[in-house]
Chains A and B, each alone.
Chain A
């Protein structure tokens, strides 16, 4: 993998359900992985920055894991709420570059 890939591109989840999505990135020369939450008409807001293989971070109902050896990170949302509707971006820092994925657009259905 040479680019940062996020899947799925779009996701519809019933309110109250839990969900997760994936960020895949080049595993060589890895330094850091960022997750951002981007609401419509606003700017991206940092959720997590992870650097070590096996890192797990949590903020309220949202958590993330990191596997640097295989080049992926998962973002989990437990008990989805309407305010979780947003685009979730990941970004990989490799060498002196930071490259963003195109995001997973999450829609929470009432």
Chain B
């Protein structure tokens, strides 16, 4: 089975440009997560979706960040306008439905290979 697929693997762009990161979750997984990984803060959850609906976006750093999941097999994370401090590795992960249907993350998450983003 194909795992979580992210694109692009690397993105270098200039400050002020719009950046779009893409993710295809594992087929049949109900949950999709976007994370940002930096040296200073480690791995941080930005937003997660359940059945294409955003559930918790409290980790999204500011209004310049937005995420969508138009269908069960595709999600985007957009940064507009981008800034140098957005440089990081962005991971997408997916998981099966949680056991008790709601708050319990009792299923393992499957991560994509990440997108390394550099904003100049």
A positions within 8 Å CB-CB of B: 31-32, 34, 36, 42-46, 49, 51, 89, 93, 95-103
Say whether, besides A31-B105, A32-B104, A32-B106, A97 and B45 are in contact (CB < 8 Å).
yes
B105 engages A44 (CB within 8 Å):
no
| Bound-state Cα–Cα, A95 to B104, Å | 8
Evaluate whether A31 and B103 lie within 8 angstroms (CB atoms) in the complex, with A42-B113, A89-B43, A103-B42 already known. yes
Chain B interface residue count, CB cutoff 8 Å, equals 22
Q: How far is the CB of B56 from chain A (nearest CB, A)?
A: 6
A43 touching B108, Cβ below 8 Å: no
Whole-angstrom distance between the Cβ of A53 and the nearest chain B Cβ: 14
- Say whether B106 contacts A49, CB under 8 Å: yes
Instruction: Decide if B110 is an interface residue (CB 8 Å cutoff).
Output: yes
